[in-house]
Amino acid sequence: MKYLTYILPFSLVFTLNGSEAPILTSLNDDIVQTALLASQANQNVDYQPFILSILRSDELSKLGIKTLGEALTLIPGVDMATNTMNNRSPIFRGSNPNAYGQSTIAIDGFVVNDSLFSNYNSYLDLPIELIERLEVVRGSGSFIEGVNGYAGTINVITHAHHDPLSKENGTLFSWAGSEGALGLGGWSRYQEKGWKLSLDAFTQRHEKETPISVTDAIGRSGYGQLGMDQSGFGIAYENGGFELRGRYNDYQTGSAFGNLNILPNPEGKLQQPSWYIQGKYTLPLSQQMRLIFKTSIMQNSWISDSRPLPPGFIYGGVTLKEGYWASLMVKNRRISGGGSFNYDGFEAHRITAGVESTWDEAVDMYSRTTDKDTGIGMVDYSGTPRAFINADNAKRQITNLYLSDTITLNDATAVALTLGTMRTSDIQSHIYGRAAIVYQPTRSDIFKLMVACDNRYPSFQEMYLAPSPYGTGNPDLLYERVHSIETQYLRILGPHLTSGLNIFYMDNAQQIVRDHTGQFQNFGKSIIHGAEAELHGKLTQEDNLILSYSYIHGEAHDLSGVESHLPHTASHLVKAAYSYDLGEEWSAGTVLHYVGSKKRYHDIREPLDSYTTIDASLGWNMDTRTGWYLQGVIKNIGNTVVRYPSPSATYKDDYPIANRTVWIRAGWKF
């Protein structure tokens, strides 16, 4: 893989249209104006220079999918993981399942990964009714300008983008179900001469707890509180070349399994509120030339109030007669600004150059806990070395410079070059790049070859967390680095049906994990390779099919070169989803997930068992563009206890997350 060091600073992107139209026009329009994917023919997805999945909300709704997180589990090679605080994270192809930030998520092109964990747990419950489609890239890179995901990129396109072919002006929706699940919301958009306005809002809650009792690190048993209470709203305004977007997300859950690996009090709460505002202006200089300016501000907080240690527990040599109570908060703010230049005046070329600077900083925090010396009373440790995080040092400035040029070679191929560099204030700067080729010898056969080099910076918790049983920060961490190569063969079987075979290889270096003392360290590297076979589209005009099998295999190498198996990763994933229109009004859907067993690392426990879940749904009038619709859904018919792996010395029997649930949704489209 040493040759990648020389190849990967440059990105070669090949693609073609597959129709009689010029390739360059199709490639440039699809990359620069990705919103058009929703309104163009399904074939456009197959010609993208990525291993790409597009999921549309109307198809997902028929399958009984309710949230963004559920939809992501249909993507080949994607599994889910969590931690003691139930901070969930989609894992792409086994890439460091014990860390966050391996994947990047953007809402309408705006990245919402937080600064503390580099995660997006609080957005995984976003209702599917607010989403028009999902664009998911597996592997490094993305087609969002200036954004480069490490192992995968998710672009959530809401109804705010004003698809010109859409016949819907809005939707009101609600649902109710087991575990006290309730929710309602809606979206609407307006358009007049010269301006567009979109609004959405929702609220939801449930009283979920672990489906079975769990045993924590000190042998106590009980139920983890996974209940959720969430509300939010979004706004988008466009007028000529000016765009203004914003979103508020108030997210609260139970304390789950506790942040010290011990069951907290049932009333414990964890909050993750966030909001952002982005302004964008497009200035046409000529028919072939334009400037784009962007600026934004985002704020996210992590707030925990609970009793993470029980009465009588001995902690740091002190007996806690009333337990250990903790009220913790850290608030992070991100300010960014930049611009890009686009020019397509040269024959068969499109050039893009851009720069963006980002300032991340912990702007507020408090750390109020039981007195750590006497075990009696509460003490405010904010701003002292005994606070839960060193917030004074939690700051980072990043400047991203990138240059790309897409080039048409002939009627079957096109190429583009991209060079990017990330300069940072607290971590060594680096160069990133991506290369891909798409070749179509016939109308039905498409070949792709892609190589990439990218990096992931350590999060604030990995660098600045104070010593605790949960983990200890390490300010000397290096960034994670990935070199990857992927190939894909697509066979177009019909106007709306495509099969594919993907093969991938990843060399992940300087992986960040917690060592035996709990401190975050650059462990070494992992070598991951595998394959994905998939079939998606329509067998008939009345149905929709998503079918995939993923094989993932890898080895982990520590700093001394000792090799072991890849931990906490299922070698086999099977996903099948099928919906069928029973008539003009009724439709049925089913979803199957098989997740293979997962081996552990430096852990005497047996591997985590495989599991299978099956969902079923029946809907009325789900295809309506105006009018009422109704659906009933049974999730996990067999009542399988879905578990996510727990690290050693935390919970004995892993994290039981879900079992069977039943719910009904109804709505009105106008």
Domain of 319, CATH number, reads 2.40.170.20
The token duo for 571 is: 């070698």
Give residue 48's pLDDT: 81
What are the C-alpha distances in Å from 640 to residues 48, 249, 451, 569? Answer: 37, 31, 39, 19
The dihedrals phi and psi of 21, each to the nearest 5 degrees, come to -70, 155
Model confidence band, residue 152 (pLDDT cutoffs 50, 70, 90): very high
pLDDT at residue 148, as a whole number: 83
Count CB-CB contacts under 10 A for residue 246: 18
> The whole model's pTM is what?
0.92
Beta bridge partner(s), residue 641:
none
- Report how far residue 29's alpha carbon sits from residue 23's, in angstroms, rounded to the nearest whole number: 10
362, 329 Cβ separation under 8 angstroms: no
pLDDT at position 545, please? 98
Task: Give the C-alpha separation, 487 to 120, whole Å.
Answer: 29
Instruction: Considering only residues 413 and 207, tell me which one the structure prediction assigns the higher pLDDT.
Output: 207
Model confidence over 279-308: pLDDT tens digits?
Answer: 999 999 999 999 999 999 999 999 999 999
Tokens 């952002």 locate to 276
Torsion angle, CA of 49/55/56/59, rounded to 10 degrees?
140
| pLDDT value of position 14 | 33
List 104's β-bridge partners, or say none. 153
- The yes-or-no verdict on residue 213 having pLDDT over 60 is yes
Q: Is the pLDDT of residue 525 over 80?
A: yes
Indicate whether 209 pLDDT > 70.
yes
Average pLDDT, integer, range 172-187 = 97
What is the band of 164 on the pLDDT scale with cuts at 50, 70, 90? Answer: low
Domain count, the chain: 1
Higher pLDDT, 653 or 487: 487
Mean pLDDT for 521-534 is: 95
**Which domain does 76 fall in, by range?**
4-669
Q: Do 427 and 395 touch, CB atoms closer than 8 A?
A: no
* Contacts of residue 81, Cβ cutoff 8 Å, sequence gap at least 6: 88, 89, 91, 97, 98, 568, 644, 645
| Percent over 90 (pLDDT), the chain | 76
- Segments in 266-311 forming alpha helices (H): none
Is the per-residue pLDDT at 323 higher than 50?
yes
What is residue 22's predicted lDDT score, i.e. its pLDDT? 38
- Residues shown for the chain: 670
At 43 the pLDDT is 37
Give me the pLDDT at residue 2, please: 38
pLDDT at residue number 520? 95
* pLDDT score recorded for residue 163: 65
Sign of CA dihedral 59, 62, 63, 65: positive
Residue 286 CB neighbours (<10 A): 8
Least confident of 17-26, 199-208, 459-468: 17-26
Q: Over the chain, what is the mean pLDDT?
A: 90
- Residue 262 and residue 268: Cα distance in Å, rounded? 12
Mean pLDDT of all residues in 94-115: 92
Cα(476)–Cα(587) distance, rounded to whole angstroms?
Answer: 56
Q: Contact, 573 vs 563, CB < 8 A? A: no
Confidence of residue 146 (pLDDT cuts 50, 70, 90): confident
How does 610-631 read in b/e, with b if 16+ C-beta sit within 10 Å?
A: ebebbbebbbebbeeeeeebeb
